[in-house]
Amino acid sequence: PSRTDNWSGIRNSDWFVTLGGDGHQSAVDPTNPDIVYAQWQQGNLTRFDRKTGEQVYIKPQPGLNEPAERFNWDAPIVISPHDPAVLYFASSRVWRSADRGDSWKPISTDLSRNIDRLREPMMGRQWNDKAAWDLYAMSMFGTVTSLSESPLEKGLLYAGTDDGLIHISENGGESWTKVDSLPGVADNFFVNDIKADLHDKDTVYVAVDQHKNGDFAPYLYKSTDRGRSWRSITSNIPERHIMWRVVQDHINPELLFAGTEFGVFFTIDSGKRWVKLTGNAPTIAFRDLVIQPRENDLVGATFGRGFYIFDDYSVLRHIDPDTLESDPQLFPVRKTPWYVPKATMGCDQPNCRASQGGALYIAPNPDFGAIITYYLPEEIQTKQAARHAAEKKLADEEEDTPFPSWDTLNDEESESDPAIVLIIKDAQGNTVNQVTGPAKAGFHRVAWDLRLPSKQSWEPPEDPTPWNSPPTGAFVQPGSYSVTFATRVNGELTVSEQTQTFMVVSIREPTLKGANSEDRLAFSQQTEELARQVTISSEQIKAAIAQLKAAAETLSRYSSPPGLLTETEAMTRALSAQSRLIHGDENAQIYNSETFVSIWERVFVAGSGTGNTYGPTETMRMSLDIANTKLEEVRGVTTPILQNELPALMKKLDAAGVPWSKGR
């Protein structure tokens, strides 16, 4: 999976093995995911039943008195887009099966040049049988390396070889037309990929390379007449970027992706100009590319570093090069799955390993929630950054860079960093949250976690652990939402007219039916508000106690009027007693001997009903009611102290000339 529904991510247990040996091209029946065609090197093809785990060996075999077949190390397998029971496979000739590989029929003769490589010159001469030949773990030569059938015309087939030939059949293999040269590339090229166009039945693409002959240039060609003529669409792809794969978007015919020796490129104009995709992918050979059309995900397999997924590349369909040069752009947001991530490994943090360390392999999930993509043509700079940029230009031209005024420096120092603000609204136009993103030039992606903002205060701890993460607000209901693009510069928010609407859709229902989504959200908001109020009282008491303790410390060193220290300590004890009602008795907690349930414990129990789709139980509702009642009792005691008695005591200290203490 490219995403799991749990916090940990994608683990080894999410994978299944189809076959032993050096695995090569696989194909999955599009109508039945339990049928997988898998192979090991030299064309050893099997049909794997994922339901039973059984493998059936279905490699095509030569007939009576026919010579042995030559299969490429990575033989091409294609499931016909017109009939999932029809397979195409290739040795030096093309085979067709109409029964999912139970039987095969060759539909071509040898499509290679049939060169005997043992007798070909190498390093300027021929070699005898005593030379250091190393052919055991090598691909055979004179084989078909790539196959494709047009999804628009049944029986329109393309085949490419490892020795510089392309063949086209327009009648299901009854006859073939040969192409033995391409413009600008030497003969005997290796066909890395051949792909029939998804939108035009006469168009086909081919990626070839000559690196075995010392030529590392990229070669990518397009034909609009079924291979009769070809033109290069390599354009600005850099030198030495061997071309391995090409795939086409299923919606926009001019959006192509190319896998090369040093990365993945895309074009929005059918190859007139290519742009390299960067993100967090390494600079490495991308040997294979495939598109998952339902999700609009691009998957790129690298040569030695696993594979990478570009989630929802559909934003590239909406790029307008002219607009990008001058204007920010907010792109459509795809349908967002609404669910509560499972704590499969026992913790509710991304990439949770459950204390297993490196023994547990995990690949991270994509960010949870609605993924919002935007583009900035240039960075939004602070005044200081803009001044430094201008000064650098002057310095490069050896011009004066005058020292700024103190007002300028002070103004720059007080300026906040600029940010992009993405305002989330519900279907009624109510603002439910906002997400901030970077203000640097280029494409950016940020995620809204499908929650309301938390009303609880929180400060990052000095020693963070999985158990002191920041509080989160309540989950919103599934439904229609919108995001609006805005910029925040020096604290001032400027809202644009760019808005995208998207759907948040529940992907599952709990086994037991609980509260409806409206009641769940209402209860979550009540619990959030209660937590906010408890925090307010807690922090007010904490601040007052700190103020009283500071005053007591000062009074103990100062010859003050009789009774002031006694009154200060009595007030401290009164507030401390109320603080214990909120937080619990620390002394009793040390010995695990709680004598009463604290208000925060009541809030915790009530809040446990806000992080799931079932909603609050009666126990949670009771806990909320009790917490509200107990908080009112605490405030009945603390309010007179905080509003009247404490200010009056501080005035007595001032009147007595007691030295200043913290908080007064």
| Range 77-82 average pLDDT | 98
Q: To the nearest 10°, the Cα dihedral for 12, 16, 18, 19?
A: 30
Is the separation of the CB atoms in 473 and 528 below 8 Å? yes
| Range 33-51 average pLDDT | 96
Q: Over 395-444, what HEC string results?
A: HHCCCCCCCCCHHHHHHHHHCCCCEEEEEEEECCCCEEEEEEECCCCEEE
Give whole-number Cα distances, 625 to 231, 298, 523, 614, in Å. Answer: 75, 51, 11, 19
pLDDT at position 461: 78
pLDDT at position 358: 77
| Range 130-148 average pLDDT | 92
Tokens of 624: 């909320």
pLDDT, greater one: 593 or 430: 430
Residue 457 identity (one-letter amino acid)? S
Q: Which of 53, 50, 92 is nearest to 70 (CA)?
A: 92
Greatest mean pLDDT among 449-463, 558-572, 637-651: 637-651
Confidence of residue 466 (pLDDT cuts 50, 70, 90): low
pLDDT tens digits, 151-181: 999 999 999 999 999 999 999 999 999 999 9
Fill in the DSSP letter of residue 79.
E
pLDDT at position 532: 93
**What span, in angstroms and rounded, lies between the C-alpha atoms of 205 and 216?**
19
**What span, in angstroms and rounded, lies between the C-alpha atoms of 176 and 157?**
9
Does residue 304 come out as left (phi exceeding 0), alpha (psi in the -120 to 50 range) or beta? left
Q: Tell me the three state secondary structure of residue 458.
A: coil
- pLDDT exceeds cutoff 90 at 360: no
Fill in the DSSP letter of residue 586.
H
**What span, in angstroms and rounded, lies between the C-alpha atoms of 623 and 628?**
9
pLDDT at position 316: 95
Confidence of residue 56 (pLDDT cuts 50, 70, 90): very high
pLDDT tens digits, 4-30: 999 999 998 899 999 988 878 899 999
Q: At what angle do helices 383-396 and 406-414 cross, to 10 degrees?
A: 130
pLDDT tens digits, 82-114: 999 999 999 999 999 999 999 999 999 999 999
Which H/E stretch holds residue 373? strand 370-376
Give whole-number Cα distances, 272 to 86, 198, 222, 237, in Å. Answer: 36, 19, 12, 10
pLDDT tens digits, 517-559: 888 889 999 999 999 999 999 999 999 999 999 999 999 888 7
Tokens of 147: 């196959």
pLDDT at position 393: 92
**What span, in angstroms and rounded, lies between the C-alpha atoms of 97 and 88?**
7
pLDDT tens digits, 328-356: 999 999 999 999 899 888 888 888 888 88
Q: Classify residue 359 as exposed, middle or buried by CB count within 10 Å of its CB (0-12, 13-18, 19+).
A: exposed
pLDDT at position 467: 66
pLDDT, greater one: 462 or 183: 183
- pLDDT exceeds cutoff 70 at 449: yes
Q: Which of 139, 140, 145 is nearest to 158 (CA)?
A: 145
pLDDT at position 356: 81
- pLDDT exceeds cutoff 80 at 457: no
Q: Which of 372, 333, 365 is nearest to 349 (CA)?
A: 365
Fill in the DSSP letter of residue 619.
H
